[in-house]
Amino acid sequence: MNDDDGFNLSLAKIAIIGLGLMGGSLALALRGKCSAIYGIDPDPNTRQLAISQNIVDQVFEDPAEIISQADVIVLAAPVLAIFSILSTLPEIMPNSCIVMDLGSTKVEIVRKMEELPARFDPIGGHPICGKERLSLENADRTLYYAAPFLVTPIGRTTKKALSAITQIIDAIGAKLDILDATEHDRILALTSHLPYLLSSVLALTTPGSVAPYIGPGFRSASRLAGTSTSMMLGVILSNRENLLVALENIQDELAVITSALADKDAEALNSTLQAAQAAYIKIIGSK
C-alpha cells in the first residue's frame, strides 16, 4: 500500500477518541509522523495532561468540536463506548473519512460499522498489547512496538482504508495480521478474555488474610484481575457466546482434576498435569 491508494500518513489529520492507555500510546507513537493529532476525551484531567505533555496537537471534550477536520477517526474507547460513538458518528461527522477502532472484540463492532453511511470508510483493528493500568498517565510510545496488530476488514473496506491502517501500523512498529472478525473473537476469547475471567475467579476465591504470603505465582496468575471493568465488561458481554463455550471446557477440565483429587488418583492427576505442561510448552514455544 502506498500513496497510489489515496492515503499518505504524513499528510493525514488523525482524531483519536479516547485518550487512555491505548489512545494515548497511539498518539505518542504517531507524533511527527502525520499532519496533526487531535485528542478527544471527556475527562478534564486527561485533556490537561494530553496538552501539557504534548501528546496531541489539540484536545477536545466533544468530538463534534473537531471531528469534521479529521481524515482518520480512531475509536480508542472501551467496547460499549465504541458502540455508542458509532451510533452518533453520522450526526456529528458530515465529511467522508476513514474510521478504525482498537476494540478487543470485533464481530459486533464491524457489524455496526457496516451500518455507517456510505461517506465513511470503516475497518476494524485490535492491537495485542496493553497494561492493567489504562490511564493516559501510563501511555507509552513503545507500547505497540513489535506487537501483533490484528486487522478485520469488512465488505465495504476500501484499499484506501487498508492502506491507512497499514501505514499507521508500520509507523508505530507493530506487526499487521489480517483476520476475519468471527475468527478474531473466537481466538481472543481463549487467549485474552478467558484468562481475565480466570484471574478474576482466582482473586475472588482467595481470602485477603493470605495477602502477606503471596508470591510471584499468585501475582502472575491473578494479574489480569486488576484490569478496569470499564474496559472489560463490554469485551466480555460482546464475546459472550465464545466465552460460554470456553468456560464449559474449563469446567470439564476442572472436573477431571477434582475427580482425581477426590479419588486420590495420583496417576490420573499426574497424567493431566503432564498434558497441561506439554500443552503450555507447545503454545509458548510457538511464540
Say what the pLDDT of residue 46 is: 95
Q: How far apart are CA 117 and CA 122, in angstroms?
A: 10
pLDDT in tens, 163-209: 999 999 999 999 999 999 999 999 999 999 999 999 999 999 999 99
Structure confidence at residue 3 as a pLDDT band (50, 70, 90): very low
The pair phi, psi for residue 35, each rounded to 5°, is -70, -40
pLDDT in tens, 226-274: 988 988 999 999 999 999 999 999 999 999 999 999 999 999 999 999 9
pLDDT in tens, 28-78: 999 999 999 999 999 999 999 999 999 999 999 999 999 999 999 999 999
Q: For the purposes of burial, counting CB atoms within 10 Å of the CB of 30, is it exposed (0-12), middle (13-18) or buried (19 or more)?
A: buried
Predicted model pTM: 0.91
Question: Partners of 175 in the beta sheet?
Answer: 148
* Cell 457489524 -> residue: 111
* Cell 489480569 -> residue: 224
Q: How far apart are CA 88 and CA 22, in angstroms?
A: 22
- Residue 202 in 3-state DSSP? helix
All three cell numbers of 232, joined, read 472489560
pLDDT in tens, 143-172: 999 999 999 999 999 999 999 999 999 999
List the domains of the chain with CATH numbers. 3-179 (3.40.50.720), 184-285 (1.10.3660.10)
Report which of residues 217 and 286 the model is more confident about: 217
Q: For the purposes of burial, counting CB atoms within 10 Å of the CB of 26, is it exposed (0-12), middle (13-18) or buried (19 or more)?
A: buried
All three cell numbers of 144, joined, read 505497540
Average pLDDT over residues 76-84: 95
Statement: residue 4 has pLDDT above 70: no
Q: How far apart are CA 110 and CA 159, in angstroms?
A: 17
Distinct helix (H) and strand (E) counts, the chain: 11, 8
Question: Partners of 177 in the beta sheet?
Answer: 150
* pLDDT, mean over the chain: 94
The angle formed by the CA atoms of residues 285, 202 and 255, to the nearest 5 degrees, is: 80
Distances (CA, A) of 38 to 113, 126, 142, 144: 22, 20, 20, 19
Q: Which residues contact 247 (CB under 8 A, 6 or more apart)?
A: 194, 197
Report which of residues 211 and 133 the model is more confident about: 211
| Longest pairwise C-alpha distance within the chain | 68
Q: What is the CA radius of gyration of the chain?
A: 21
Statement: residue 133 has pLDDT above 80: no
Q: Which helix (H) or strand (E) holds 60?
A: strand 58-60
